[in-house]
Amino acid sequence: MAIVLAIETSCDETAVAVVKNREVCSSIITSQIPVHQQYGGVVPEVASRQHLETINGAISLALEQAELDWGKIDGIAATCAPGLVGALLVGLTAAKTLSVVHQKPFLGVHHLEGHIYASYLSEPTLEPPFLSLLVSGGHTSLIYVKDCGVYETLGATRDDAAGEAFDKVARLLHLGYPGGPAIDRLAQEGNPQAFALPSGKVSNPGGGSHPYDTSFSGLKTAVLRLVQQLEKDGLSIPVADVAASFQETVARSLTKRAIACALDYGLVTITIGGGVAANSGLRKHLQAAATAHHLRVLFPPLKLCTDNAAMIGCAAAFHLNRGHRSSLTLGVQSRLALSQVMELYQ
């Protein structure tokens, strides 16, 4: 049984949690969204400075709310890749420093492995193998989870991540940042069949299309063209219908690929992680398709879908239990394939 204090600062959330294997003892999440909203997106340098200002208070609060002192902590973890380099550096440096001061093992954690482990927190019986659909602002992947640290990426986006597409479409509809929740809200009032949009197929060089890869940049351009055409024709933009049609297209596209992948690989459980997992359209379509194919789909609660440190702590606790440790010379990396996770440990 490992108790880990974990730090997550890969993007615009300063998060610290204390996790006992699959149990969350405390989870502090300080969002920087209001700070970045004025710029219409995350400004990396601003994010790093905000993390610096918030991190110490968040660490103290996480320990206090867990009602634990440093003596009870078995390991200290931080996200080390992928993400914004300056932002990652704040969390990683704090974790390394605490590990030296309190003489505890230090572990660097892959952010996407954290998103996978969010489902371990919400479903105590979950065990590999299973398929994980990760849909966040920076990533869209279908991952075959074989064991702790053993992952095979079966599908990915060729260009924009799903969350990035939501954010870009929201920007062109003047809905503000972050775009996903705004589109999700508006889509409830719109007609998802109002506009036919391209479904994000990726053509294979030899013909046909890739069964699991997606492409969202064409979809985003199609929405842009649609808006431009309506403006040119002097028509008002039916924003709710555009939002609903866009969301429907993304949800159907992701659902189709996730179900095909699970069936082809004989995986009966699909988990979902990342901010876009909060999307109501995706949840509805995926649940319906999974039920129709007798598959189990696990949706973690929303606070575990978006960035948090509890998921990082859970992944770290599993590694710690297996005797994995990171070197204090471990650095941050803006990109790192999930298949390289074990390179983080000695």
Q: Which does 190 bind (CB under 5 to 8 A by kind): Zn ion, ligand KG4, none?
A: none
Q: How many residues does the chain have?
A: 346
Task: Give me the sheet containing 13-20, strands edge to edge.
Answer: 23-31, 13-20, 3-8, 75-81, 106-110
The CA distance from 193 to 326, in Å, is 50
Nearer to ligand KG4 among residue 104 and residue 177 (C-beta) = 177
Least separation, in Å, of the C-beta of 67 and ligand KG4? Answer: 28
* Least distance in angstroms from the C-beta of 201 to ligand KG4: 21
178 binds, among Zn ion, ligand KG4, none (CB under 5 to 8 A by kind): ligand KG4
C-alpha to C-alpha distance for 74 and 4, rounded to whole angstroms: 6
Residue 279 binds which entry of Zn ion, ligand KG4, none, with Cβ cut-offs from 5 to 8 Å by kind? ligand KG4
Q: Residue 4 CB, nearest distance to Zn ion (Å)?
A: 18
- Pick what 241 binds: ligand KG4, Zn ion, none; C-beta below 5 to 8 Å, kind-dependent: none
Q: Which one, 84 or 243, has the nearer CB to Zn ion?
A: 84
Find which of Zn ion, ligand KG4, none residue 313 binds, CB within 5 to 8 Å per kind.
none
Residue 232 CB, shortest distance to ligand KG4, in Å, is 28
Question: How many C-beta neighbours within 10 Å does residue 302 have?
Answer: 11
Q: Where on the chain is the footprint of Zn ion (CB under 5 A)?
A: 136, 307
Provide the minimum distance between the beta carbon of 166 and ligand KG4 in the complex, in angstroms, as a whole number.
4
**Range 295-298, long-range pairs (CB < 8 A, 24+ positions):** 295/259, 295/262, 295/263, 295/268, 295/269, 295/270, 296/268, 296/269, 296/270, 297/269, 297/270, 297/271, 297/272, 298/119, 298/122, 298/123, 298/126, 298/269, 298/270, 298/271, 298/272
* Residues binding ligand KG4 (CB under 6 A): 11, 136-138, 163, 166-167, 178-181, 184, 274-276, 278-279, 306-307
Q: Which is nearer to ligand KG4, 248 or 307 (CB)?
A: 307
256 half-sphere exposure, CB direction, 13 A CA radius: 15
Q: Shortest Cβ distance from residue 13 to Zn ion (Å)?
A: 8
**Angstrom distance (rounded) from CA 27 to CA 84:** 22
The CA distance from 112 to 128, in Å, is 16
Which among Zn ion, ligand KG4, none contacts residue 213 (Cβ within 5 to 8 A by kind)?
Answer: none
Helices (H), 144-270: 162-172, 179-187, 217-232, 239-264
By C-beta, is 109 or 320 nearer to ligand KG4? Answer: 109
Asked if 82 and 336 touch (Cβ cutoff 8 Å), the reply is yes
Pairing of strands 106-110, 75-81: parallel
Query: Residue 278 binds which entry of Zn ion, ligand KG4, none, with Cβ cut-offs from 5 to 8 Å by kind?
Result: ligand KG4
Among ligand KG4, Zn ion, none, the one that 253 touches (CB under a kind-dependent 5 to 8 A) is: none
In this complex, which beta carbon is closest to ligand KG4, that of residue 63 or of residue 142? 142
Write the CB contacts of 201 (distance below 8 Å, at least 6 apart in sequence): 209, 210, 215
Sign, CA dihedral 289-314-33-138, equals negative
Q: Which is nearer to Zn ion, 48 or 199 (CB)?
A: 48
Q: How far is the CB of 279 from ligand KG4 (least distance, A)?
A: 3
The minimum distance between CB 240 and Zn ion, in angstroms, equals 28
Residue nearest to Zn ion (CB): 136
Between vectors from CA 332 to CA 327 and to CA 337, what angle results, nearest 5°? 95
139/319 with CB nearer ligand KG4: 139
Closer to Zn ion by Cβ: residue 110 or 257:
110
